Amino acid sequence: METILEVNEVSRKFGGLVAVNGVSFTVKKGEILSVIGPNGAGKSTLFKLISSFMPTSSGNVTFRKERISGLAPHIVARKGVVRTFQETTIFRNMTVRETVIVAHHLRSRANLVGYYFGTHLARKDEREFGESADEILAFLNLTAMAHEQASNLPHGHLRALGIAMGLATNPVILLLDEPFAGMNHEETMRAVEMVRSLRDNRGLTVLLVEHDMPAVMKISDRIVVLNFGQKIAEGTPQEIQQNPAVIEAYLGTADESIGI
Amino acid sequence: MERFPSNPNLPSPQRGNLSNLSRFVQESRPTWPWLGTVFALILLFFVIPDFIASMRPEKQGLIYYQFTQIALLSIAAAGVWLTFYIGRINIGQGALCLVGAYVSAIVQVKLDVSYWLTIPLAGIFCVLVGIVIGWPILRLRGVYFAMITLILTEVAKLVVLNFPIVTNGARGITNIPLPEAVTLFGFTILPEFTADNNRMYFYFLSMFVMVLTFIALFRLVHSRIGRLCKSLQQNEELASSLGVNLVLLRLIPFCISCFMGGVAGALAAGVQHNVGPSIFTVQDSVNYMLYCFMGGLGNLFGPLVGTVILRMGWNYLTAAGDYQLLFYAIALIILMLIIPNGVMSLSPVRIYQRVVGWLGNRRPTLNTVPHNRKS
């Protein structure tokens, strides 16, 4: 399988603290790769480095052999690497449908002047965005909420809205920031199905950062484990479950391991 | 009737009359702007002048002048509102007005250019100024942006005072001619402004520009750019993750705001026949912001409504003499406490509920409080 995202020896220092230390891995087209690790392992920092929301101290990230670290976030998004945020990050002053329509920004063919004066192309764009938004909302089971203020949505639907925004940008690889945080078992299993259907039905590559172990084990093709900013293991869920370094990172010592 | 079949698995959102009302307004969008424009034009160009014509002749000039001022201030306040729309508190609009006024005056007096040309010229010059200032400072947020813009008015004043060769320093430019007639193929498009009629003609001119401003703003807010601005106002990081070019999208509304400031300044220069370094002060810049707050930041007609209320109130309070500012401030504080989101945030439905609640001495019957399941 073709490698589309490559993380090469990426480091990030905050003063004397090394949050991410020389992490490398690759993401292949069409796979679901999870980055896990205990609290403070540098997952979120790594996530920001990959999506270029934070510059790297050293090392780089390449997408389809093209360097993306150091570029402005909107240019990275334009290339097809799109991140989602945690649930609280939404446009509170818009309805769900409006939010998803706005998220179609990258697909626009008319320019801003065209949108202002409502040229033929701009109107065509708007129509297509509306249809595409409805389609995405139906795909993520949000149709009933389409005209609700985004800030009024319950928990699980907010997460789906975040993913809907990501989908609207037509990404090649979608980076999900803790998509299962704060969900109960049932909600998590539903979200797992949703993420999997992104890959199966829409051909997306998914990279997710998460610390809900059962969900990660269920969903991932491969897992990268971080601890104290360093990569300590990489492999399939079965390999990770048996890896003594991972067990030690999560449970302290290996001898009293009770399985994950 | 439900527009969408509801999914039985999902809790159905409770919708109040308020959201139905706003949805009705949203969905009937194509007709009501036109009706509103026609209504506004009839009001401003026939009803109000007709009303003023019935007054004593010596009073008419003053009334026209006061209405003109309201129009000019609301154009500038509309610019401030637009920077609020991208989530920036702009207390520097007075600087742009001053720049616009001086550009218009200098170009007229020194280069002998027609007044009509100097209005767009002042706007364009202010856009250039806006690009130079906005590029570095628009990356600041919240109070930091407000602080920088707060000093702009004072900086503009100092610039005027320190370049007397161009600006005539503290004496200002006092010999601005009245606008001359414009004829095209023998037709008089714009009449000559004379000492007798200029108050009235300036009223029509500024009202025309004001209507144009709000039509342009309406179009902007309801176009895709408006939606993008709204997204910027909420969360810039999220917007940039969707591929929005933040630098460009902050700069465009800011420059439009500067254009409005410049045009308002140029019009003011014409209305007053003279410009000085203190025709627009920090006080004015703060006032524009207050007009926006008063009218409401959520509605694009907020600055207009706010200007009308506060400026007219200010004019009426001249009767209080020395205590004018005191009463004005007290009234402002009380109004802000009662309607913190501005006049335009008041909804007829909610007022009706309140009244029903008071009269029946019971809780409101209509549920318009947004249903928030996540407490």
Which pLDDT belongs to residue B361?
61
Q: Average pLDDT, stretch B114-124?
A: 93
Which pLDDT belongs to residue A85?
86
Per-residue pLDDT for B283 more than 50? Answer: yes
Report yes or no: B333 and A113 within 8 Å, Cβ to Cβ: no
Lowest-confidence region among A40-49, B186-195, B303-312: B186-195
Q: Which residues of A touch B242 (CB under 8 A)?
A: 74, 77, 82, 102-103, 105-106, 165, 168-169
Which pLDDT belongs to residue B14?
44
Query: What are B350-360's pLDDT values in tens digits?
Result: 778 778 777 77
Of all residues in chain A, the percent with pLDDT exceeding 70 is 96
> Are the beta carbons of A141 and B10 separated by less than 8 Å?
yes
CA distance A14 to A33: 26
Report yes or no: A211 and A226 within 8 Å, Cβ to Cβ: no
Query: What are B284-303's pLDDT values in tens digits?
Result: 999 999 999 999 888 889 99
pLDDT band at B3 (very low <50, low <70, confident <90, very high): very low
Query: What are B143-153's pLDDT values in tens digits?
Result: 999 999 999 99
Query: What are B212-263's pLDDT values in tens digits?
Result: 999 999 999 988 899 899 898 888 889 999 989 999 999 999 999 999 999 9
Contact status of A172 with chain B (Cβ, < 8 Å): no
Using CB atoms, pick whichever of B5, B7, B240 lies closest to residue A73: B240
pLDDT band at B371 (very low <50, low <70, confident <90, very high): low
Cα B51 from chain centroid (whole Å): 25
CA distance A38 to B363: 50
pLDDT band at A255 (very low <50, low <70, confident <90, very high): low
Q: List, as one string, the DSSP characters of B244-275.
A: --HHHHHHHHHHHHHHHHHHHHHHHHHHHS-B
Q: Average pLDDT, stretch B176-187?
A: 82
Domain positions in chain B: 55-303
Average pLDDT, chain B: 85
Distances (CA, A) of B281 to A22, B69, B157, B261, B276: 56, 15, 8, 13, 11
> Are the beta carbons of A72 and B240 separated by less than 8 Å?
yes
N-to-C CA span, chain A = 30
Q: Average pLDDT, stretch B15-30?
A: 50
Which pLDDT belongs to residue B22?
54
Q: Average pLDDT, stretch A163-168?
A: 90
Q: What 3-state class would DSSP assign to A28?
A: strand
More reliable by pLDDT, B101 or A39: B101
Query: What are A92-106's pLDDT values in tens digits?
Result: 888 999 999 999 988
Report yes or no: A21 and A190 within 8 Å, Cβ to Cβ: no
Using CB atoms, pick whichever of A74, A144, A146 lies closest to residue B243: A74
Q: Average pLDDT, stretch B115-136?
A: 94
CA distance A135 to A143: 9
Using CB atoms, pick whichever of B12, B23, B225 lies closest to residue A144: B12
Which pLDDT belongs to residue B30?
55
More reliable by pLDDT, B23 or A235: A235
CA distance A56 to A214: 31
Which pLDDT belongs to residue B368?
52
Per-residue pLDDT for A17 more than 70? Answer: yes
Which pLDDT belongs to residue B310?
92
> Are the beta carbons of A94 and B240 separated by less than 8 Å?
no
Distances (CA, A) of B149 to B80, B216, B255, B285: 11, 24, 14, 9
CA distance B102 to A9: 57
> How crowded is residue B137: how many other Cβ atoms within 10 Å of its Cβ?
17
- Model pTM score: 0.85
Contact status of A92 with chain B (Cβ, < 8 Å): yes
- Candidates A102, A143, A142, A95; CA nearest to B23 is A95
Per-residue pLDDT for B13 more than 70? Answer: no
More reliable by pLDDT, A247 or B304: B304
Per-residue pLDDT for A152 more than 90? Answer: no
User: DSSP strand E in chain B: where?
Assistant: 182-184, 187-190
More reliable by pLDDT, B368 or A58: A58
Q: How many Cβ pairs closer than 8 A exist between chain A and B? A: 115
Query: What are B62-72's pLDDT values in tens digits?
Result: 899 999 999 99
Mutate to test the interface with A, among B224, B229, B246, B373 (most CBs of A within 10 A): B224
Contact status of A106 with chain B (Cβ, < 8 Å): yes
Using CB atoms, pick whichever of B3, B225, B234 lies closest to residue A116: B225
pLDDT band at B362 (very low <50, low <70, confident <90, very high): low
Per-residue pLDDT for B311 more than 70? Answer: yes
Which pLDDT belongs to residue B370?
54
Using CB atoms, pick whichever of A83, A143, A154 lies closest to residue B241: A83
pLDDT band at A247 (very low <50, low <70, confident <90, very high): confident
CA distance A118 to B219: 9
Which pLDDT belongs to residue B289?
93
Which pLDDT belongs to residue B267?
94
Q: Average pLDDT, stretch A214-220?
A: 88
pLDDT band at B29 (very low <50, low <70, confident <90, very high): low
pLDDT band at B21 (very low <50, low <70, confident <90, very high): low
